[in-house]
Amino acid sequence: MAAEKDKRVALKQWLRRRLTEGEQPQEEWRQLLEATWDYLLVTPVHQLIDAATAKAAADQLMNAELITEISRPIVAAVAPAVIRELRTDERPLRRFLPRDAEAKLQEAIARPGLVHPDWIRAMFRGEAAEAVLNDALYRALQDFSTLLPRLMVKLSPMGRFGVLGSAGAFAEKLIENLERQIEPEIKSFLADRSEQILERAAEFTIARLDDPASIEFRANLVNFVLSKSPAFLVGAVDDELLSDIGAVAELTARHVADMPDMRADVHAGIDRAIE
């Protein structure tokens, strides 16, 4: 029995050396892999696997619990390691682009019709945009409203003779009264017209999307990103954000796996691939 066991051990050792050690096994494995790949490329898919088997395998993979088991450790282990590595890289992203590639990128940025108008409309829509617009316009109109009454009084006879006793005091009270009356009118104007102003601003921008100034804006944005380092781009990514991203990815994967139309789309894709 001992002799038989020794023979089996020796055979295993020889087989392992034959398959893994030296240049000859490496060359044979390379030839085998190339021949297998070439065979797969010329073989119809339906000869390799039937549609029913492929659909059953897809259904097994599209399982929420399985996806969670697979994705959770990957996100937990890979994402923090990648972020840590990126935080140490202070070199600009531009180094990854050769000059001819960057020139092509600039040409693509300048291509007419690159930005869909709905992107612009979305930027000018919503409470946040209205709040920014209202604040900016309110400050501008308020500043103007403090100048206008004073200018009107200054140009009036009362203003020209303001140095004569009580006329100056009366003019100042008139200015204060006008300012108090104008301020609520400004607020009312903005409350009633801000949405319309935003719509006009969006359409104004859309009409000039391919003007030189707009193209320059897109180019400046891309150049800004390329000039920054990976460390800059992930500067705000902390452990809490990574945890949130992992939770979003997991919940999204589970949701997609349970979507009936997604399963139907996968089955339809299998039918098209195997037919």
- pLDDT tens for 122-169 read 888 877 777 777 777 777 777 766 666 566 556 555 554 454 455 555
Given a cut of 60, is residue 270 above it in pLDDT? Answer: yes
What are the start-end ranges of the E strands in the chain? none
Given a cut of 90, is residue 12 above it in pLDDT? Answer: no
The pLDDT score that the predictor gives to residue 172 is: 65
Q: Which residues lie closer than 8 Å to 145 by C-beta, 6 or more apart?
A: 179, 182, 183, 186
Q: CB–CB of 56/196 below 8 Å?
A: no
Report the alpha-carbon distance of residue 244 to residue 242 in Å, rounded: 5
Instruction: Give whichever of 24-28, 36-40, 118-122, 253-257 has the largest mean pLDDT.
Output: 118-122
- pLDDT tens for 69-96 read 887 887 788 888 889 899 999 999 999 9
Q: In the chain, where are the structural domains located?
A: 1-43, 117-208
The pLDDT score that the predictor gives to residue 39 is: 85
